[in-house]
Copies of this chain bind each other. A is one copy, B any other.
């Protein structure tokens, strides 16, 4: 069947609140620098009260990725749950405005839209505290077969292993994709997510996944090692394709017994690394859906990541299709 979409992504629909912070602030708040921590609403309100003035922008890992795919000119669909509130309306707008198909009805009468409080330290590193809110209420009923079956690649975030309802939606999507012969990609999302759900993730990768995205910390956490090469060797055995991001060292694409080292694009000043991994995945998935060679997929990922870390916010501020053309990609 011809695909209606290049990529369909499923994730926690989250609005980001991004503010600059000092390293002292991260320490004083007892936050894990660079990680994503789940918080409840009360903790969210108390942390927010102490944060610096910020900007609000639609986020969510898979939401960022699918926005990137659309910015490259890819045909894209998204599944995620917001509440029927102002931040939810912002999320819906931003997702649709870039041309992503998104028709999951918002949640009425439950918790508010999910929010991620992101403190960005002067080194550009982001530390995230997420109140999942309405995003946990994505249900299996929200996963429409025609979207999953119509997508060349179905992309899932590891963050979805946290909320139980969303995990059922995730399982349904994977099942539909598998049955339709579609490719399934997953990002490990966060080293702590890997710690919390190692067995389930491993099982899922072994049985259903074609493509894994991970950064070094997530990869080594998955295989309980500090040795990158050892972890990469294990990953290679378990999945057909893996793309491992290594910050300024670029990325490594593992495909059977082939290895492609992909350089990063130079960035004048790293402002905010929020969305770097998400945009890497966007470029890679867009390239893959278009049948481009793996090293080019990696370069498209590097390009999108370089754009997003040069400004505040997790989604591209320029048209990635034009940017790629400009770079001869």
Q: A residues near B, CB below 8 A?
A: 17, 19-20, 48-49, 51-58, 67, 85-87, 90, 93-95, 97-98, 112, 311-313, 315, 317
Q: A49 CA to B97 CA in the complex, in Å? A: 7
Q: A95 CA to B53 CA in the complex, in Å? A: 7
Query: Chain B residues near A86 (CB, 8 Å)?
Result: 85-87, 112
Q: A94 CA to B57 CA in the complex, in Å? A: 15
Interface of A is mostly: mixed
Copies in the complex: 2
Q: State how many angstroms separate the Cβ of A312 from the closest Cβ of chain B.
A: 7
Query: Chain B residues near A49 (CB, 8 Å)?
Result: 93, 97
Known: A51-B93, A52-B97. 15 other contacts (CB 8 A): A17-B90, A48-B93, A51-B97, A52-B98, A53-B58, A53-B67, A54-B57, A55-B55, A55-B57, A56-B90, A86-B86, A86-B87, A311-B311, A311-B312, A312-B317
Q: State how many angstroms separate the Cβ of A163 from the closest Cβ of chain B.
A: 21
Q: A97 CA to B47 CA in the complex, in Å? A: 12
Is A93 a contact of B53 with CB atoms below 8 Å? yes
Is B97 a contact of A53 with CB atoms below 8 Å? yes
Which residue of the partner chain B has the closest CB to A112?
Answer: B86
Which residue of the partner chain B has the closest CB to A52?
Answer: B97
Q: State how many angstroms separate the Cβ of A69 from the closest Cβ of chain B.
A: 13
Query: Chain B residues near A55 (CB, 8 Å)?
Result: 55-57, 312-313
